[in-house]
A and B are shown apart, each in its own frame.
Chain A
């Protein structure tokens, strides 16, 4: 079944959505978002940690896990097998690795051997430079030297649970999905395909699904409303119809 997943950024101050990974819109307490998405029966909830204080992170993740009745995925700073296991112990089902795996591809196998291939997600932020898609370096907040197509070809061989692309240019802009990136994801064969960035409506989500994307992550569309970016959580009732209940 195709999935639509609210995706939010978390740090010591609370929950946020980002625009182009540069501007941040405050959503409030993460636990509030979890409670609302429980009621709205979302398919999953994606948590992206960008803070620095591991103690606060751990307490926040424990709280989120305690409240959530939907599956949880976590991305942020996973640099070792031990890091991944710790997050799983908090009750998160899926562990996201970012572009750092390109410099340490063995990490994918180490973590997959511990928690299972299906529980591992590789999330690659990407942006265009001189007409070529490049991998975005989250840590340095700039485009890296890694070519996206070459990187995808390598990562596809890992056969892990999911490979997702995040459009930095469309992130948080409600500009619609990047059909070019969706097309590029079509080259991924050995795993589920995810896309994040720019969805502004259920039609956008359905379009991505119809073009072979298994899971669409969305932040602004599901969590921010109006010209002044007011936090307002929503989730389409269509999902109930889709699942026939």
Chain B
């Protein structure tokens, strides 16, 4: 039986978590082997860790070409956490190129004293587009990140969350490319429902 979605493997965490969360809502998935061509319409790009390490993994696993070909063939992409940050051009976290599928740079979150700010824990993001993925606005998700999308073009931003000193993009979308800064795979039923809705929407 063909998997409904596939998961690109940066080798940087949470592919199994995504796969298991999808399975809990009845979506079969398969983790791509290196250099394997995706067969499903929806491809996930999850990741935990440093932007530069992610950039290197995109090269070493030929994922730049794989993802580019996948999108050109009409496929859809969902980036999660580091996977979302890699949709952009670059990051203040360190050297390396993103996929440049969307025009943004990941910025370090800082306060007025220039000290770095981390976001760790649960937040209920603000939804900017009514009925987007059938969300009600009461959902909560688990975040852990130091760098964020702080000044991306607002037309791409579907949800935002706030820390003490910063407001960042929680979810972005540009056509068939979607990104979540939080971890839906670790956000209980809220995250599982979101994954289900996202896959359903992108498979239309």
Contacts and interface: CB of A to CB of B under 8 A. Distances in A.
Interface of A: 1, 3, 38, 41, 43-44, 62, 65-72, 85, 88-91, 93-94, 113-119, 159, 161-162, 190-192, 214-215, 243-245
Interface residues of B, number: 37
B3 interface: no
B183 A161 contact: no
Contacts of B140: 1, 243, 245
Nearest to B15: A91
Contact of B116 (A70, A115, A159): A159
Nearest to A119: B144
Nearest to A3: B121
Contacts of A89: 11-13
Given A3-B121, A116-B145, A244 B138 contact: yes
A93 B186 contact: yes
B73 interface: no
Given A41-B188, A71-B183, A88-B48, A114 B53 contact: yes
A60 to B, nearest CB: 14
Nearest to A90: B16
A93 B16 contact: no
Interface string B3-27: 0000000011110110011001000
Interface in B94-128: 115-116, 118-124
B118 A161 contact: yes
Nearest to B16: A91
Given A88-B49, A243-B140, A69 B115 contact: no
Given A66-B16, A91-B16, A119 B48 contact: yes
Interface in B130-188: 138-140, 142, 144-146, 183, 185-188
B189 interface: yes
Given A69-B189, A114-B49, 9 more contacts: A41-B189, A66-B16, A69-B187, A89-B11, A91-B13, A91-B14, A93-B48, A118-B119, A243-B122
Nearest to B53: A114
Contacts of B116: 117, 159
A172 B131 CA distance: 46
Q: Which of B21, B122, B139 has the most CB of A within 10 A?
A: B122
A215 B115 CA distance: 22
Contacts of B144: 71, 93-94, 116, 118-119, 161
B124 A68 contact: no
A67 B13 contact: no
A69 B188 CA distance: 5
B191 interface: yes
A88 B81 CA distance: 13
A71 B186 contact: yes
A1 B123 contact: yes
Contacts of A38: 188
B183 A118 contact: no
Given A114-B49, A117-B118, A245-B138, A70 B146 contact: no
A114 B50 contact: yes
B183 A69 contact: no
A245 B122 CA distance: 13
B146 A117 contact: yes
Contacts of A161: 118, 120, 144
A71 B142 contact: yes
Contacts of A215: 121
B122 A116 contact: no
A119 B191 CA distance: 19
A67 B49 CA distance: 22
3 closest Cβ pairs, A-B complex:
A118-B118, A91-B17, A88-B13
Contacts of B192: 69
